[in-house]
Structure 1
Amino acid sequence: MRINAVCNYRVIDAPLWLAQHRRPDEYLYHEFQFAIRAVIGGKSMDHLLSDKQKIDEELSAVMREKRLQGIELNNAGMKDLILPSEIRTILTKVVEAEKSAQANNIRRREETAAT
């Protein structure tokens, strides 16, 4: 799967931030990648698809725990979760099966009510 994510931050002490890292943007990018892996790695596919708000909160918390000096983290979160075509096909079949089962239950109830 591929995840598009965003991390909003503000530099509050530029000399400190720049003195600590040769390439501060790359450093932040790598730390953000590690945070995403830490949050996403233990989650099931259903959880990732259903509770985006909680994942965003966890990702923001993990980034704040890093206490990166010289910057202030505002928030972090997932923008998009892009699934491989095989998984999308499987999920489509699952949804179709669930909807078909729901339709069958409704038909049965209507037939029972009619008799």
Structure 2
Amino acid sequence: MPFELLIPITVFIIIILVASLRVLREYERGIIFLLGRFWKVKGPGLILVIPIVQQMVKVDLRTRVLDVPQQDVISRDNVSVKVNAVIYYRVIDPEKSVIQVEDYSSATSQLAQTTLRSVLGQHELDEMLAEREKLNADIQRILDEQTAAWGIKVSNVELKHIDLDESMVRAIAKQAEAERGRRAKVIDAEGELQAAQRFMEAAEILSTQPQAIQLRFLTTLQGMSAERNSLLVLPLPIDLISGLMKKGEEKG
């Protein structure tokens, strides 16, 4: 082969080789198609992609954060609320994420919106406010099952805000106030019941032990004498009078 032809061929080969080289980072994979058909998954590192014959689609394997737009949800007890959420997901099967779905990011976002409305619509407002962890787990499980065919793994779902109308906020506040009042009345009633039971027990003891009545009388006198009163009018126990009268008759 003449030297004049060797130089252009060598330059052409070098250009082809340089154009064929690709560098994929640790978190990237390359889906290689050979004449339009899936061939293999390559990466990370330095790979070779033959121009024209082969095409490569790059896929990022890092966890992505999807902010689900605010959704209008009607709860099972017919309360309208606005809910938004955040979803964490990542690609675990690069081949499926390219071949099975056109745009896995957009598809996951749309599926998350419909799933959010569907799941929350099956619960009452009180459950939405009090059982967020359970709702998060339910939404995450459903999304994970449905996106598995796309090579997607939904690792976590978090409800961010549940916004209510002003009228509903006032109604909830009024309900909470009524609940606190009810609990206070129940506590007062339980206290009265316990006090009444103690009084009954004390009355039974005093009725069987006359000395206990006199001891209680003296204790009450001691407490009253400690107060700053100018005059005390006290009843005198009949038993004490009877005892004094008997002693006087004996002396007489």
1:7-18 → structure 2 map (5 Å cutoff): 7-14=87-94, 16-18=96-98
Structure 2 CA distance, aligned partners of 1:17 and 1:36? 22
Number of equivalent positions: 114
The answer to which structure, 1 or 2, has the higher relative contact order (CA under 8 A, 6+ apart) is: 1
The CA deviation at 1:4 is 2.1
13-22 or 51-60, which deviates more: 13-22
1-10 or 11-20, which deviates more: 11-20
Alignment counterpart, residue 161 of structure 2, candidates 62, 75, 80: 80
Alignment counterpart, residue 101 of structure 1, candidates 176, 182, 186: 182
Alignment counterpart, residue 37 of structure 1, candidates 109, 117, 122: 117
SS at match of 1:38: helix
Aligned to 1:90: 171
Given that 1:11 and 1:70 are in contact with CA atoms closer than 8 Å, whether structure 2 keeps it comes out as yes
Structure 1 CA distance, aligned partners of 2:178 and 2:97? 53
**Which protein is richer in helix relative to its size?**
1
Given that 1:59 and 1:77 are in contact with CA atoms closer than 8 Å, whether structure 2 keeps it comes out as no
Calculate the TM-score normalised by the size of structure 1: 0.81
Given that 2:96 and 2:149 are in contact with CA atoms closer than 8 Å, whether structure 1 keeps it comes out as no
Question: Radius of gyration: which is bigger?
Answer: 2
Structure 1 CA distance, aligned partners of 2:144 and 2:93? 16
Structure 1 CA distance, aligned partners of 2:167 and 2:130? 19
1:40-51 → structure 2 map (5 Å cutoff): 40-51=120-131
Structure 2 CA distance, aligned partners of 1:3 and 1:18? 31
Structure 2 CA distance, aligned partners of 1:83 and 1:15? 43
Amino acid at match of 1:47: E
Aligned to 2:105: 25
Structure 2 CA distance, aligned partners of 1:86 and 1:34? 27
1:39-78 → structure 2 map (5 Å cutoff): 39-66=119-146, 67-78=148-159
Structure 1 CA distance, aligned partners of 2:140 and 2:108? 13
Q: Structure 1: which 5+ runs fail to align?
A: none
Structure 2 CA distance, aligned partners of 1:109 and 1:74? 48
Structure 2 CA distance, aligned partners of 1:4 and 1:14? 28
Aligned to 1:5: 85
Change (3 A) 1:72 1:89: same
45-54 or 103-112, which deviates more: 103-112
Q: Structure 2: which 5+ runs fail to align?
A: 1-80, 200-252
Calculate the TM-score normalised by the size of structure 2: 0.41
The CA deviation at 1:94 is 0.5
Alignment RMSD? 2.2
Indicate the percent of aligned positions where both proteins have the same amino acid.
26
Given that 2:136 and 2:157 are in contact with CA atoms closer than 8 Å, whether structure 1 keeps it comes out as yes
Structure 2 CA distance, aligned partners of 1:29 and 1:76? 12
